[in-house]
Amino acid sequence: MLYTHATIITVSSSREILLDGAILVQGSSIVAIEKTGMLLAQYPNEPTTDLTDRIVIPGLVNAHMHCAQTLLRGTGDDLELVHWLCERIWPLQGNFTPEDGEAAARGCVVEMLRGGTTCFLESMFADRYGFDGLCRAVEQSGIRGCLGKIVMDMPTYAQDPKWAMHPGLVETRDASLGGAIDMWEKWDGKADGRIRVWFGARTPGGVSDELYKEMTALSRTKGIPITMHCAEVLADRDFFASRGDTPSSYCDSVGLLGPRTVLVHMVHLDDDDIAAVAASGTHVVHCPTSNAKLASGICRLPELLRSGANVALGTDGAPCNNTNDLLQELKLAGIIHKARTLDPTVISAETVLEMATINGARALGLDDRIGSLEVGKKADFVAIDTRKVSMQPWFNPVSAVVYVATGKDVELVVVDGKEVVRGGKVLTMDEEAVWRELRVRAAEVVQRAGLKDKIKSRWHVR
């Protein structure tokens, strides 16, 4: 297929933008990208799709996501992290069935695809959610998924007994680490290479030093990447300090720092932490909406970028963001640091788009295949429709994408050379069946958890 007459933001090494550009896709790859007139002359017999008045970008990479939590959207509003976890999210997730987990995963990938996300990193999918169901959802939908299977052996948060996990979520070392290896052997590389299985370690304080060291050793020998929350809230920093450590020194002591590790949030870092992360090649994921909504703080993104650290972007889960729309995350990432630093130039729109594309691909070890639109790379791209009042006028296409567009403006999504969204509709799944099942299963989980009376409007409803 030859996609023609688009404004193409390539995010290539030269950061070239093509006006009236075209992309030729053969199989799963981009075989040509040039001005429309040139490609029409070279390939006169190719079928074409006219993308006049659309902005084409590389497929977005959501580098931090909790798929199961899509079933829990709106159940934990206006709470800080520890109470959010202990009083709402863990009790709800502890009452999941595998069927609930698969329904949540299907809803999550449909929403992400409709919003232009073509690849994502699931943070820590638990056994009770049914990892096979998550993989089936990725396989059927056509999205790319790097899927973190939870690794843990302690039932508390920051080793504090009053912050205990719901019993239904607790996994032993054998079930979590062994289960991750089993799922890696079963699913890694499946779905034409779109599925990758990762270690999804719990936050320090939920995993023993011994298990971290065992996991990081396996990561090195088997080539399994690791993702983990770190330094998200002040309580995390206090935990590290109680051991005589900082976030970076602790991670280094158990083998977590390095280019195969993606650390998420990283809000509470000092200058030495930032330098250590950058020097080690460890990747960081910025989740501004989640950090703001849970009152966790604001990541020192400008300092991380200046240090040379690779920083990607993530939405986090639906109960702490309320949407899986990464395009909306771009805007907040571009403006919140201007307010913190009182400098409107500190983070540009171009930097934010890099975080959501090539930086995300680099964090996932996929930058040789995705993250930019270049000949030889996978045909993963998104067309944003500007034929509407809310998108007009625009003068800088990057600004239009970062500061204006939302998932509702996405018209076309191509992953691995296949159209998975066209006309704003997902082609690979029955959207109505997905949302109807989400509604039913969410109500059942809330009922089983005994939280029906707590999850409701504060205002009188009759």
| Distance in angstroms (rounded) separating the CA atoms of residues 51 and 268 | 44
- In total, how many domains does the chain have? 2
In eight-state DSSP terms, residue 203 is: P
| Distance in angstroms (rounded) separating the CA atoms of residues 90 and 165 | 6
**One domain, residues 278 and 173:** yes
**One domain, residues 265 and 404:** no
Least confident among 74-88, 175-189, 190-204:
74-88
Q: How many CB atoms lie within 10 A of CB 393?
A: 7
**What does the chain come to in residues?**
462
**One domain, residues 320 and 235:** yes
Q: Residue 279 sits in a domain of what CATH number?
A: 3.20.20.140
Residue 159 has pLDDT above 80, yes or no: no
Boundaries of domain holding 404: 2-58+377-426
Q: Assign 161 a pLDDT band (cuts: 50, 70, 90).
A: confident
Domain-terminating residue out of 363, 390, 415: 363
**One domain, residues 114 and 181:** yes
pLDDT tens digits, one per residue of 226-273 = 999 999 999 999 999 999 999 999 999 999 999 999 999 999 999 999
Residue 157's pLDDT is 77
**One domain, residues 22 and 156:** no
Residue 461 resides in a domain = no
Residue 239 resides in a domain = yes
Residue 456 resides in a domain = no
Residue 160's pLDDT is 75
**One domain, residues 413 and 265:** no
CB < 8 Å & 24+ apart, contacts of 334-337: 334/402, 334/403, 335/403, 336/288, 336/292, 336/298, 337/298, 337/301, 337/302
**One domain, residues 309 and 390:** no
Residue 234's pLDDT is 93
| Distance in angstroms (rounded) separating the CA atoms of residues 65 and 59 | 16
CA 97 to each of CA 130, 131, 170, 435, 445: distance values in angstroms, whole numbers, following the listed order: 8, 11, 14, 18, 9
Domain-terminating residue out of 335, 363, 391: 363
**One domain, residues 206 and 116:** yes
Average pLDDT (196-223) is 97
**One domain, residues 261 and 184:** yes
| Distance in angstroms (rounded) separating the CA atoms of residues 305 and 269 | 13
Residue 458 resides in a domain = no
**One domain, residues 158 and 285:** yes
Domain-terminating residue out of 341, 363, 385: 363
Residue 106 resides in a domain = yes
Residue 350 resides in a domain = yes
3-state secondary structure of 172: coil
> What are phi and psi for residue 112, nearest 5 degrees?
-65, -45
CB contact set of 339 (below 8 Å; sequence gap of 6+): none
Residue 59 corresponds to which tokens in the numbers above?
């497929």
| Distance in angstroms (rounded) separating the CA atoms of residues 188 and 389 | 44
Sheet strands side by side (includes 261-265): 60-65, 117-125, 144-151, 195-201, 226-230, 261-265, 283-286, 311-313
Residue 311 resides in a domain = yes
pLDDT tens digits, one per residue of 107-120 = 999 999 999 999 99
Q: Residue 19 sits in a domain of what CATH number?
A: 2.30.40.10
CB contact set of 192 (below 8 Å; sequence gap of 6+): 28, 416
| Distance in angstroms (rounded) separating the CA atoms of residues 79 and 101 | 24
**One domain, residues 15 and 35:** yes
| Distance in angstroms (rounded) separating the CA atoms of residues 250 and 273 | 10
Of 307, 263, 266, 269, the C-alpha closest to 282 is 263
**One domain, residues 404 and 255:** no
Residue 101 resides in a domain = yes
